Every structure is written in C-alpha cells, then in structure tokens.
Structure 1
Amino acid sequence: MKMPQRDITLRFLAETQDVNFGGKVHGGAVMKWIDLAAYACAAGWSGRYCVTAYAGGIRFVQPIHVGSLVEVEAKVIYTGKSSMHIALEVNACDPKSLNRRLTTHCIVIMVAVDQNGHSERIPEWVPETEADIKQHDTAIKLMNMRKKIGEEMQIFVE
C-alpha cells in the first residue's frame, strides 16, 4: 500500500497579472496560491477530493515582487476523522540569487468529501519527531482558540 504524502511544495514565478496597485503581488493572489497548495497537500494525504473549511492566522510578513521565484510549502500537522490541518509557508526570492525570505504563513483546514459533498474518513497522521509533536499540539491549541473566536463572531452573523 502506498504511503500518503504529508507535504508538498509548489514553485513558480510571480507574474505581472498577480500585481496590485502598489506594484507588489496582490494578497488575494497569495491566498489563492495558499489554497492551491493546501488542496494538493490534503488530496495527497487523504487520496480524496478536499474542500477548504477554514483559512486563518494569515500573516503577510514581506511583499512579493513580480518575477520572484515563489515557493508555497504545505504540510499536514493534525488530522481529525475527515479534516486535515495544513501549515503553510510562502517564501520568495530573486531567482538569480536564491536568497529565500519568508513572505506569508498561515493554517488552512481541509475536509475530504465524496461526490455528494459528505465528509469522508481519512488516514490518521501521527506525529513522530519533536517538531511534529509541537506542531500537532499547537494545532489543537488553535482549534480551541477558533472555537472561542467562532462564538464571539456570532454577533456578526445573526
């Protein structure tokens, strides 16, 4: 049986159509790349079609310039019955120098679904290294925090 793939890195060049009015890559373009990498990571782990259930904690640390080599790294840090918490990091650099710098990071939760949109069971990810355990534990802390934030946010949806 083939082992699920826990992580993936997408690489490409930032293009002119990705630019905002300030001449840097638009945050929405970065969020699209994050969603694509999260999907590829979740599908690779679960072997199923997946949908985005949550994207949060996004931090835009530094801008990305047109022509930059962009790397979007995604890895599973927690699994539920059908959900996967994916940690994402976006790095960029001039392709001539390859001096990578962190530009963005966040967490995305993906859910494996069947053709009718019902959640499907996925393989469990078990942390092995000390770093894996820290990330797994942090994912659990963030889940509890999101629950509290969700309760507070109800005022805006009622």
Structure 2
Amino acid sequence: MIQKYFPLDKNYILEQAQLDQEERLIVYLIDFAKKFYLDQFNPLGLEDDTVKQIKAHNTEYTDRLVEFYRNLAGVYRYKHGNNQLEFLFDGKDHYDKYTVDWVATYEEWLVDFCLRPNFLKAVLELTVFYPEGRKAELAESRMKAFIHQHFELKIYKYKGIVKMKIA
C-alpha cells in the first residue's frame, strides 16, 4: 500500500482502486496534456520543433508522475474518502463504485489543471521533453506546489496532508 496521508486514511478499497488505475491514468494525463497543449496553444496546427517533438512523443508509463498521482489520490481520499461503506442498491460492489468515481473526478480535475500554464508546462517537461537532473527536480517541485496552491493543502513526507491555515 502507499503512504497514509492523514490519520483516518483507512479506506483501503478506495486506495486499492486508485492504485489499480495508476498506470492507465498517468498515461491518460500525459496524452491529455499533449492534446490540450496542441489545441490551446497551436490551434492553427503550425509545425515547429516543439510541436513536432510533442507529436512524435510515444506515451509510455512514466515514473516521474507517480508521486504526483499518488499525492492527488491522497488528496481525493482526504476530501472524498469516507471510511464507512454506504449501501449500494445497484448491484455493484464498492470497488467498482470507487473506481468509477475516482476516474470521473480525476478526469474532471485534469481539465481544470490543464487550464493553468504552469501545470501544463511541468507535465510536458517531465514527459515529452524529459529533462535530466536539475530541471526535472524543478518540474517535480512545481507539481507539488500546484497541489499546494490548488487544494490549499500541504503534503509532507512524514506528516501527510495538512490543511493550510490562511491568515
């Protein structure tokens, strides 16, 4: 299992559903970011070096976005993950319901995230342009800062999620 992000992070069914979708949803994030960039910042379809590199990029699973995905999954559990199982009258089990709900929220969040240029730039830097060394660390830091700013939550390695106090 992954890190416990807050004391009541015990919805193990939701956590497993998120882990099982990890690879597929990270690849979805990369593909979505590339398409979004091309649609928003190159509506005429002009071919320059950047556009050629984005189009030529073969999306594969990338470990550079795993931490971001897991932090985002932790934020979702923090905001939506109730430990009590609800009654489901449609015949589905909780795993299926959590999977559908998580994927829908994740895809919804990506639309909002990609409207922010810093997020889009960081995703493309970590995947398509794949910098080595210092630049990669800066892009990963921007991803953490994005979660901090967007959700007003700070994620610490050992303390987990802490709600930010606005003065």
TM (norm. structure 1) is: 0.34
Higher strand share: 1
Query: TM-score under structure 2 normalisation?
Result: 0.33
Pick 1 or 2: higher relative contact order, CA cutoff 8 A, min separation 6.
2
